[in-house]
Amino acid sequence: MRGADAIVKALEDEGVKNIFGIPGGAIIEVYDALYDSGINHILTRHEQAAVHAADGYARASGKVGVAFATSGPGATNTVTGIATAYMDSSPIIVMTGQVPRSLIGNDAFQEADITGITMPVTKHNYIVTNPSELLHIIKEAFYIASTGRPGPVLIDVPKDVTVAEVEYNYPKKISIPGYKPKTKGHPKQVKRAAELIMESERPVILAGGGIILSNASEELIRFAELIPAFVVTTLMGKGAFPENHPLCLGFVGMHGSKYANYALTECDLVIAIGTRFSDRTTGRVDNFAPYAKIIHIDIDPAEIGKNVRVDVPIVGDAKEVLKDILKIIKYKKRKEWEDKISQWRRKYPLRYKNDGKLKPQYVIEKIFTIEPDTIVTTEVGQNQMWAAQYFKTKYPRQFISSGGLGTMGFGFPAAIGAQMAFPDKNVVDVAGDGSFLMNIQELATCVDFNIPVKVAIMNNQFLGMVRQWQELFYKERYSATCLRCKELRFDKIAEGFGGVGMVVEKPTEVEETLREAFEIRDAPVVIDFRVERLENVFPMVPAGAGLNQIIDG
């Protein structure tokens, strides 16, 4: 069969149900083959959005997301989406068309060295130089993307490979010399970790996104309850532990709660699982958990000891390591530590001023109250942090956000991907007006495919997080952060695309509008919440400060 037909059949054999992308000359043969397949193709309006949608699909479903793009500008438009997935360890396959092999290196029309460009931001990438290797490469790509520490894999396919004749013999299994992800923790290290846990009086579990990626949330709950230990999460770990659980302190770091940050600062043992200790989590590293020994469990050995000192390193899959530790630890009462945490919780709750104005925190609280099972994606900035603080996740993969790269414009197309993964659920993109404008064209995609994503815009007419920094640290010199879009009607823009638009200006309008929006199941809904313009995100750890130097504002 044609190489293009082999590609589509291989994707079918991998169980791919949805592909996000945009066709072009170099990949047109693959789209021709796709025409007769059972795979659903979602035509996005920008390649960056296609990759974000595949990413959102992967994060919501736990399956590998797939995106297509043509050569040249189509391929280069995918780079931000690939880098976003790479930073957050999201398993996606990006397949790009390429000029024919005979023209590579000749500056042909729409030629770009996309494998070279994306090498720093992919887990692995390929250019198919021999049609006979095509199927093996696809099988390898899915295996690499989804095993060990997941990540994006790019396959660049020259156009003449898509028309070449290949024998379809798709591999059932794959073995890659030199790539053998380690899942079981070393027994001696597991035993030492258990000893430290039993010796500690003030333990805290720091749960990262690796818990979610390894499907280890049930083991984490049993682990926390057995020690017992309070749990703080990274932004990417939000959802790994139910936030209504009495042991959950919520997310920690720059905009985490005071009590979570204090717990991590005053503890005598940090049990870090599936986290890379990013600067937004640790604050000033030399002030991080100064009284604590640190156990670090991670499937990627490169992350252990990279950012913070580690006393007991354990390389392995979070689920497998937790199972092993659970066999050898026992319950130990730690009343003094529990009382201390309870005092901090009472003294330093998350709060905002209720002065009759429309506050973004109130909007997000109402979203949770009305639809607690909804999947939430976020853009990046103040809206993201408010969502992390006030939307209390109940289960893994419920909260989807760009953590590592911090990509504005991520949330809306990611919501499209999540909605395709779970068509019967409500999916809400908590957005800022600045971020939403970056991929607003995907309203056309939603209308075209009847994708009922809800977009809740916290419209403060600013690039809000940068403005907040300018207010606090740059003497209110608001350089290039005022969007001046008071007259911009997001509701009318949504209607212009064929969707539904709503405007909310008063707190009393919030609940009724949200309930009305959640009832709409055949079109995108954009709600323009005209929130208090100068509202800031607090608590906040200033850049370069320790977690215990958090300010309330």
Catalytic residues: 47, 109-110, 159, 465
Of 285, 233, 311, give the one whose Cα is nearest residue 546.
285
Beta-ladder partners of 165: 2
CA distance 546 to 252: 12
CB 382 within 8 A of CB 352: no
Distance of CA 102 to the CA centre of its chain: 39
Residues in the chain: 553
> What is the separation, in whole angstroms, between the first and last Cα of the chain?
65
Phi, psi of 92 (to 5 degrees): -135, 155
Q: Are strands 399-400 and 454-458 parallel, antiparallel or unpaired?
A: unpaired
CB 78 within 8 A of CB 96: yes
Beta-ladder partners of 40: 18
CA distance 19 to 22: 10
Residue 547 tokens read as 């977690």
CB 493 within 8 A of CB 443: yes
CA distance 298 to 276: 8
Of 508, 132, 188, give the one whose Cα is nearest residue 328.
188
